[in-house]
Structure 1
Amino acid sequence: MEKRILTCIAVDDEPMALKLIEGYIAKTPFLEMKNSFSNAIAALEYFNQNPVDLLFLDIQMPDLSGMELSKIVKEKTKVIFTTAFDQYALEGFKVNAVDYLLKPFNYAEFLVAAQKAQERISGSKNSGNNTESVAGKEFLFVKSGYKQLKIALDQVLYFEGLKDYVKIWVKGNPSAVLTLMTLKSLEEELPSTRFMRVNRSFIVALPYIEEVERNLITINNNQITVSEQHKEKFQEYIEKHSF
C-alpha cells in the first residue's frame, strides 16, 4: 500500500489545545498542516475552497459544533475528534470518525490516531481494494477505557459485535477486550486472508477454526453460526482448503 502525506486542518476554540495539536502535526512527518481555526464556521468556509484529507476537530464549540461539521464534510474527508468530554465517544463512532482523542492526550496517542487515518486514507486510494492493502497488518491499537491496547492479530480468535461496541476474544485470555467501535468499521481494517465476517455479530479468525458442522463453526470450544448471507463465501473458503 502506497502511503502519502496527509493534508490536515485543526479546529479548536481553546488556544492552548489548538497550539498543542499544531505542534503535534508539525513533528509528524506524514502530516501537512494547511490551516487552523478557533471556530468551526471559519474552518468550513476554508474547507469548501481548500479540501483536505483529515480534520482534527474539537466537539464542543459555539455556533457550529465539531460533530455538526463532521457530518457536513464526512463524504470528503476523515475526522479525528479531540475533546475533554468522553460522553461524545459513542456519537463520534456513529459518524465513522477515524478516532476519538480524549483530552489531555499525549503525542503517542495522537500518533496512533494519525497512523490509523493514514492507513484508512491510503487504503481507500489503493485501487479500491482495501482488504488487500491491509493484508500485511500484524496488529491493531484499540481504545479500551482510557488506554490504547495493542492487539496482535495472530492471537485473536474472533470479534463479537455488540451494537456500538466490539468484544475482542484473544487466545489464552478468559475475558474479552471491550472497545467502542462498530464491527463494520473494524472489518475494514482487517486482512481478509485471516478474518471473515460470518454473521451480523461475528468476525472469525480463519486459522483458529477447529471444526465445521453444517452452519456451525467451533473456535476455542465456542460455536458460532454462519448466516445465510455469508454462507456462500464461507463455503468457498472451506472448499478451497479441503482435500
Structure 2
Amino acid sequence: MESLKLSCVIVDDEPMALNLVESYVEKTPFLALQKKCSSAIEAMEFLQTETVDLLFLDIQMPDLSGLEFSKMLPKSTRVIFTTAFDHYALEGFKVEALDYLLKPFDYAEFLTAANKARTWFEMVKGSKTEAAAAVSEEKEFLFVKSEYKQVRIKLADVLYFEGLKDYIKIWLKDNPKAILTLMSLKSLEEELPKSDFMRVHRSFIVSLKNIDVVERSQIIINNQRITVSEQYKPKFLEFINSNSL
C-alpha cells in the first residue's frame, strides 16, 4: 500500500496551543495541515466544503464545545481531543475519539496519538481499496436509495454525479430530472469503476464515456458545463492526452 497522508485541521481558541500543535503536525511526515481554526464554528464552515481525515480538537471552547462539534462530524472525519481537563476523557471516548491528549503534551505524546490515527485509517482505507479493486471494473449498475425506494442505476446511462453537501444528484441520459440520494461523493467515488468515471471537481464526478466536448478547463456533457478544478486537472489531462490523436 502506498504511503498514507492524512489531511488534518487544528481547532483551538488559544493561539499558543494552535501554534504548538501546528509545529507538531509540520514535523510529522504523514500529516498534512489544511487549516487552523480558533473556534468550532470556523471549523464547521470550512468542513462544509472540504473533506478532512483528522481533527485535533480542543474540548472547552466558547459558543460550541469540541464535544458538541464532534457529534456533527461525518463518520469519515475522526477526532483526537486536546484539553487541559482530564475529566473529559470518558466523554471523549463516548463519541469515539481516536485518542485524548491532556495539555500540556509533548511531541512524543502527540506522535503516539497521530500514529493511532494513521493505523486506523490504514486499516479502513486499505480494506476499502482492496474490496473496491476486486469489484469496481465489473460493476454495471448500482442500487441507490431514493424517496424510500432502492433504485437501480445503470452506470452506462450516467452522465455525471453532482454533490450537494450530504446528497448526490445523479444525472442520467434521456432523463431531465436528477435522482437524489443521501450519500457523500467521496464514498461513491470509491465504488465506481476507475476506468469509466473520474472526479473532476469537489462537487462533480463525470462519466468519461459520455463527455461531448472539452473546452479549456471545462467539460461539456449533454449541454452542461462542468469546470475541472486545479486539484483534479493533472489526472484529467493525463486521461485526455492518452486518448488523443
TM-score scaled by structure 1? 0.52
**Pairs within 5 Å for 1:1-243:** 2-128=2-128
Q: Provide the rounded CA distance (Å) in 2 between the counterparts of 1:125 and 1:4.
A: 9
Q: What amino acid is aligned across from residue 58 of structure 1 in structure 2?
A: D
Q: Provide the rounded CA distance (Å) in 2 between the counterparts of 1:60 and 1:41.
A: 13
SS in 2 for 1:49: coil
* Deviation digits for residues 37-87 of structure 1 (CA, Å, limit 9, x no counterpart): 100001010011111000000000011111111111151311000000000
Q: Provide the rounded CA distance (Å) in 2 between the counterparts of 1:56 and 1:74.
A: 15
Q: Alpha-carbon deviation of 1:15?
A: 0.6
Runs of 4+ displaced beyond 3 Å:
none
Structure 1 unaligned segments of length 5 or more: list them.
Answer: 131-243
Of all paired residues, the percent bearing the same amino acid is: 61
The residue number in structure 2 matching 1:172 is none
* Deviation digits for residues 74-130 of structure 1 (CA, Å, limit 9, x no counterpart): 513110000000000000011110000000000000000000000001110112499
SS in 1 for 2:126: coil
Structure 2 unaligned segments of length 5 or more: list them.
Answer: 131-245
* Deviation digits for residues 114-150 of structure 1 (CA, Å, limit 9, x no counterpart): 00000001110112499xxxxxxxxxxxxxxxxxxxx
Is residue 9–residue 52 contact of structure 1 (8 Å, CA) maintained in 2? yes
Is residue 6–residue 118 contact of structure 1 (8 Å, CA) maintained in 2? yes
Q: Provide the rounded CA distance (Å) in 2 between the counterparts of 1:2 and 1:69.
A: 32
The residue number in structure 2 matching 1:201 is none
* Number of equivalent positions: 130
Q: Provide the rounded CA distance (Å) in 2 between the counterparts of 1:63 and 1:117.
A: 27
SS in 1 for 2:72: helix
* More contact order relative to length (CA 8 Å, sep ≥ 6): 1
Q: Provide the rounded CA distance (Å) in 2 between the counterparts of 1:51 and 1:128.
A: 17
Distance 1:57 1:116, change over 3 A: same
Is residue 2–residue 126 contact of structure 1 (8 Å, CA) maintained in 2? no
